[in-house]
Amino acid sequence: MSVKIIEAGLEYQIDAHLGEGPVWDEKKEKLYWVDILSGLFNEYDPNKKTNKSYEIGEHIGAAVPREKGGFILAKKSGFATFDPDSGKVTPIIDPEKDKPGNRFNDGKCDPSGRFWAGTMAYDLTKGAGNLYCMSEGFKLEQKLDGITISNGLAWNKAADRFYHIDSPTGNIYAYQYENKTGKLSGRQIIRHISDDIGFPDGMTIDREDKLWVAIYGGGRVLRIDPESGKTLLEIQLPVPKITSCTFGGPDLNELYITTCREYMSEEDIQQAPLSGSLFKVKLPFNGWPVNRFLD
């Protein structure tokens, strides 16, 4: 059976070096996202078509909204709070201060409001990364180790399954998940993405418990059934390096997609000049409101 293909349109043209981590705030009707290697936290207003950037002062892997307002960041130097109104960044804890060659990458909150974020080595050393979970009171626990590029976190509707990606392996993993404790067990591979297609990167989940996976180097986002591992739908983009995606809009049926231009030559960028921009596609599927950090 052939897979239906649709195209995403340009939402906002920008030259992000490594656009990542899109988060939709349904209360403010804004999209928050980061440019990791430029150290920028971005606030995009789709109603005004404007993007405001805040300089964090170092590489920033992920940002999640707090229930009490503001954000929690996973930065090069660890976890911190961030207040966009004042611009103040307040350090919390750095679990890898003894690993200067590492930085934080993708991160999200789980259904109980804990913040999960993973690390990776700048030189892509195999197995140098870890996955951490921060809970109420800023208590930190290491959940996984031996990861090369921690990416793509998602939880299912029943909150008993956790999905995670280690990009260079090409694998999308599923774990049994205890929502009360955050305990993981029973890892299995639910889909392997062949490297001739690209590498799985950021990921989100819809209300039908289907995964939406950004394919870095593949110019597409795939909707995947985690039970069968099959591709159900493909979204194509006019740029090669797709990094992540999230549902937004008033009805949470608009998929926002981040891209990047890292490791691209001038010739590469000439061939795909919209690399680094934000894209969007309206879908007959809906996502969930963002999980906020509870502290």
pLDDT at 255: 98
Please confirm, yes or no, whether 201 is among the known catalytic residues. Answer: yes
Residue 104 and residue 115 in contact, taking contact as beta carbons nearer than 8 Å: no
Catalytic position from the list 201, 251, 268, 295: 201
One-letter amino acid identity for 202? G
Residue 6 and residue 281 in contact, taking contact as beta carbons nearer than 8 Å: yes
pLDDT at 2: 84
Can you tell me the distance from the alpha carbon of 75 to that of 54, in angstroms, rounded to the nearest whole number? 14
User: Alpha-carbon torsion 227, 21, 50, 262, what sign?
Assistant: negative
Among 193, 186, 195, 230, smallest CA distance to 210 is for 230
Contacts of 267 (CB under 8 A, 6+ apart): none
Structural domains of the chain ordered from first start: 4-282 (2.120.10.30)
pLDDT at 1: 64
Tokens of 224: 């995947």
Of the CA atoms within 13 Å of residue 204, those in its CB half-sphere come to: 28
From first to last of the 295 residues of the chain, give the pLDDT tens digit.
689 999 999 999 999 999 999 999 999 999 999 999 999 999 999 999 999 999 999 999 999 999 999 999 999 999 999 999 999 999 999 999 999 999 999 999 999 999 999 999 999 999 999 999 999 999 999 999 999 999 999 999 999 999 999 999 999 999 999 999 999 999 999 999 999 999 999 999 999 999 999 999 999 999 999 999 999 999 999 999 999 999 999 999 999 999 999 999 999 999 999 999 999 999 999 999 999 999 8
**CA–CA distance from 216 to each of 30, 71, 168, 201 (Å)?**
25, 27, 10, 6
pLDDT at 43: 98
pTM of the full structure = 0.97
